[in-house]
Amino acid sequence: MTKTPRLTKQDWLRAGFIALVERGPSGLKAEPLARQLKTTKGSFYWHFRDVSQYRGAMLAYWQQSAFSNIVEHLEREPSVPKRLRLLGQIATGAAWQGYNGAPIEPAIRAWSRSDAQVAQVVLQIDEHRLRYLETMLTEIGISNPEFARLIYAGLIGLEDLSSRDGQAHAGPMGTLIDLILTLE
Amino acid sequence: MTKTPRLTKQDWLRAGFIALVERGPSGLKAEPLARQLKTTKGSFYWHFRDVSQYRGAMLAYWQQSAFSNIVEHLEREPSVPKRLRLLGQIATGAAWQGYNGAPIEPAIRAWSRSDAQVAQVVLQIDEHRLRYLETMLTEIGISNPEFARLIYAGLIGLEDLSSRDGQAHAGPMGTLIDLILTLE
DNA sequence: CCCTTTACATACGCTGCCGTATGGTTTCAT
DNA sequence: ATGAAACCATACGGCAGCGTATGTAAAGGG
């Protein structure tokens, strides 16, 4: 038996995201999480003032990575069409996946329905991503912002569906992108 | 002051959906709901065995209406393209709205992430709707099931977005349908 | 090696909600 | 009107999680 090492803030956040995906927001409680980590809440209350602040830390962590994770990835492709096509595949990649392999974004969006602070951040991230998509599309002559919204809604909806029936969303997403790129 | 009438099962379910939309699954508790209805949990435990069965009743109610509500509406349009175009607008209509005006479907889908039974029902409803969409599309020569998935994902994603930023989704949805109908 | 800092364990009182028990009210049929 | 059935109020014991207090153990610098 390896002597279990001491825990860091990150360990707690990591456990939080797993719990959020597997049990929903009601899984974000100090004592159950401590049991999961085979420790006690003494550790929890050392790293965090209270549960509320812990959730805040999780939210801040996600907010920080939610936008840059995707965009920095896309920026490596030179042309806009290539970037758009990459969108369908990136959702299968590591940037969207949680620590346990399941995607965290649907869990965050679900969380946002019972927490106004989370809702606020999700709204902000959505606006940010939508603006980014719009400017990309206008660069190739598609100025109607409805198409950016369609692409983004497709991502959200397909990821939701995939997380339920297990089907990949790269296929349909690519089809959608191709469909819109024919308007170019 | 009107003497407050006695409550029925439906009143409790109604209050449950409102709470689900406004506070999430954690709002589905006997005593808070009773406070909301200005009564006590004595009433609650008269109408329902326990909280678990209450949630089951809510779920059953939604399941029953989730499919038929839309389809029976669509069936009034004769042609497939007209039915598809109606899809974008129906989402603004009463069939999708909750008692308080806010859409209940996103709240149900969020609920499903913390309750396996709900997830099971949502999965089933999704499959049902998807099959229905697929057969409609094949009737007009679009046999690739990816397009049914795209339309449905668009609905889900757009409704999620709309419930956050308040923008209507009839516009983008109509655009998507038109885009796909050009393939006909 | 010792002493400070960091990290965790345990015990406590508190609150919110659960489900039951029991008794009080309405409502309605006869 | 009156008895039965439907409906609601209240009081109780129990449990799970919160946050605090306090003690203990493990690192790391001097």
Give distance CA B29 / C1' C15 (Å).
16
Structure-block tokens of residue B161? 């977005």
Q: Mean pLDDT for chain A?
A: 93
Asked if residue A153 lies in contact with residue B172, where contact means CB atoms within 8 angstroms, the answer is: yes
Of A63, A59, A35, the closest CA to residue A127 belongs to A63
Q: Where are the domains of chain B?
A: 9-181
| Burial status of residue B143 (CB atoms within 10 A of its CB: 0-12, 13-18, 19 or more) | exposed
> The CATH number of A9-181 is which of 3.40.50.150, 1.10.357.10, 3.40.50.2000, 3.30.70.2740?
1.10.357.10
Question: A160-172: per-residue pLDDT in tens?
Answer: 999 999 999 899 9
Task: Answer for B50: CB within 7 Å of strand C.
Answer: yes
Q: What is the average per-residue pLDDT within B27-33?
A: 98
Model pLDDT, residue B126: 97
Mutation choice for A interface testing from B120, B121, B164 by most A CBs within 10 A: B164
Question: A124-156: per-residue pLDDT in tens?
Answer: 999 999 999 999 999 999 999 999 999 999 999
Question: A63-72: per-residue pLDDT in tens?
Answer: 999 988 888 8
**How far is the C-alpha of A168 from the C-alpha of A161, rounded, in Å?**
9
Question: B34-69: per-residue pLDDT in tens?
Answer: 999 999 999 999 999 999 999 999 999 999 999 888
b/e map A47-58, b = 16+ CB within 10 Å: bbeebeebbebb
Residue B79's contacts (CB-CB under 8 Å, 6 or more residues apart) are none
Asked if residue A47 lies in contact with residue A129, where contact means CB atoms within 8 angstroms, the answer is: no
Closest CA of chain B from A154, distance in Å: 5
**How far is the C-alpha of A153 from the C-alpha of A139, rounded, in Å?**
20
Question: A34-91: per-residue pLDDT in tens?
Answer: 999 999 999 999 999 999 999 999 999 999 999 888 888 889 999 999 999 998 787 6
Residue B160 and residue A157: Cβ atoms within 8 Å? Answer: yes
Residues 45-74 of A with CB under 7 A from strand C: 46-47
Q: What is the average per-residue pLDDT within A17-24?
A: 98
pTM of the model: 0.94
Question: B125-166: per-residue pLDDT in tens?
Answer: 999 999 999 999 999 999 999 999 999 999 999 999 999 999
Asked if residue B116 lies in contact with residue A164, where contact means CB atoms within 8 angstroms, the answer is: no
Residue A124's contacts (CB-CB under 8 Å, 6 or more residues apart) are A63
Question: B69-112: per-residue pLDDT in tens?
Answer: 888 888 999 999 999 999 878 766 655 677 777 899 999 999 99
Q: Which residues pair with B82 in a beta bridge?
A: none
Model pLDDT, residue B97: 73
